[in-house]
A and B are shown apart, each in its own frame.
Chain A
């Protein structure tokens, strides 16, 4: 998990960094003495977990949380004021640590964060929906609506019954996101939805009015996957 530390006090920062280094699933990306600097960093970097001090001069940890809108990372608050912990519950924070820290308490917190992180990871692979950029908007499409995917240079074209969506992606990464029990890679440039196949003739799949070739290297695997009654 990629994480950052935000704390205006140097020794506090160093002590959290020290704990992070001892937790092998945590990867410290940056440490900030000011939440303002962290905000601009977060605009261009994907972070999974933030260790956040509450009382800082320019902007408090709570104010910082309020500015986060999209892709909000998990947050673990660190404070020397136990009374702030109550307010923290109004915001979705993973946990809060009371300073002075101990490694065992720290580890308990980050283990909880790791568990949530792992759940989110598997959820995104298993989720039924895709979010796709179309022009200036981002739209949701259900994965089952995708009939076939065609590679086109650095792009993949997702074909639904109604329309086509062009996404900047490799075929491999599309394969990783689709439920491959329902789909089949039939060619270097094609993935098809198995239950929409009409017929196969001369190693080409007839799909509505479209013919999709079956690649030589994929042939054996394709025929194995199809429930062929002979």
Chain B
């Protein structure tokens, strides 16, 4: 007998739409404190555009030290928002910018970084409503 809650289906469909983020670590960490989840999402949504601007201008100026510093600083937020695709991108940006190797690959990586972050922010704005 299968008496599944119709809401489960809705939730399932909804979750399937989330392509970039996975809040399971954040939810675990929050330990039932929904206000904390919202606070973390808000902090991510507000600081990320600034960081992205910073990394773009550092890239234009070929300031690899700043590129590296910004990418490093964003690591914790990427983990909390579960943006797994970005982990590898960040590792490469950190590696290339700190050793100043394969510098020609960095602009493409930073672009990818920005695109994924912006998509993640859109998903988070919707996801956040579940915890309000």
What is A's interface to B at a CB cutoff of 8 Å?
8-12, 14-15, 18, 22, 55, 57, 80, 99-103
Q: List 18 A-B contacts (CB under 8 A).
A: A9-B73, A10-B43, A10-B47, A11-B43, A11-B44, A11-B80, A12-B76, A14-B40, A14-B43, A15-B76, A18-B33, A22-B31, A55-B72, A99-B75, A99-B76, A100-B76, A103-B29, A103-B31
Contacts of B40 in A (CB 8 A): 11, 14-15
- Closest CB of chain A to B4's CB: distance in Å? 33
Contacts of B33 in A (CB 8 A): 18
Contacts of A57 in B (CB 8 A): 69
- Closest CB of chain B to A177's CB: distance in Å? 41
Contacts of A99 in B (CB 8 A): 75-76, 79
Main secondary structure of the interface of A (DSSP, over half): loop
Contacts of A8 in B (CB 8 A): 73
Taken together as a complex, chains A and B put the C-alpha atoms of A85 and B17 apart, in Å, by: 39
By beta carbon, the residue of chain A nearest B39 is A14
Interface: B103 (CB within 8 A): no
- Closest CB of chain A to B123's CB: distance in Å? 17
What is B's interface to A at a CB cutoff of 8 Å?
25, 29-31, 33, 36, 39-40, 43-44, 47, 69, 72-73, 75-77, 79-80
Contacts of B29 in A (CB 8 A): 15, 18, 101-103
A11 touches B69 (CB 8 A): no
Contacts of A14 in B (CB 8 A): 36, 39-40, 43
- Closest CB of chain B to A110's CB: distance in Å? 16
Taken together as a complex, chains A and B put the C-alpha atoms of A99 and B25 apart, in Å, by: 12
By beta carbon, the residue of chain A nearest B77 is A11
B30 touches A18 (CB 8 A): yes
Taken together as a complex, chains A and B put the C-alpha atoms of A105 and B61 apart, in Å, by: 41
Contacts of B80 in A (CB 8 A): 11, 15, 100
Taken together as a complex, chains A and B put the C-alpha atoms of A18 and B43 apart, in Å, by: 14
By beta carbon, the residue of chain B nearest A101 is B29
Taken together as a complex, chains A and B put the C-alpha atoms of A48 and B89 apart, in Å, by: 39
- Closest CB of chain B to A131's CB: distance in Å? 42
Taken together as a complex, chains A and B put the C-alpha atoms of A101 and B72 apart, in Å, by: 16
A-B pairs with lowest CB-CB distance, top 10: A100-B79, A12-B76, A11-B77, A10-B43, A11-B76, A9-B73, A18-B36, A80-B75, A11-B80, A11-B43
Contacts of A100 in B (CB 8 A): 25, 76, 79-80
Taken together as a complex, chains A and B put the C-alpha atoms of A12 and B79 apart, in Å, by: 10
By beta carbon, the residue of chain B nearest A11 is B77
Contacts of B69 in A (CB 8 A): 57
B76 touches A80 (CB 8 A): yes
19 extra interface residue pairs, beta carbon distance < 8 Å, beyond A11-B43, A99-B76: A8-B73, A9-B77, A10-B43, A11-B44, A14-B39, A14-B40, A15-B40, A15-B76, A18-B29, A18-B30, A18-B36, A55-B72, A80-B72, A80-B75, A80-B76, A100-B76, A100-B80, A102-B29, A103-B29
By beta carbon, the residue of chain B nearest A102 is B29
Taken together as a complex, chains A and B put the C-alpha atoms of A92 and B69 apart, in Å, by: 27
- Closest CB of chain B to A33's CB: distance in Å? 11
- Closest CB of chain B to A56's CB: distance in Å? 9
Contacts of A10 in B (CB 8 A): 43, 47
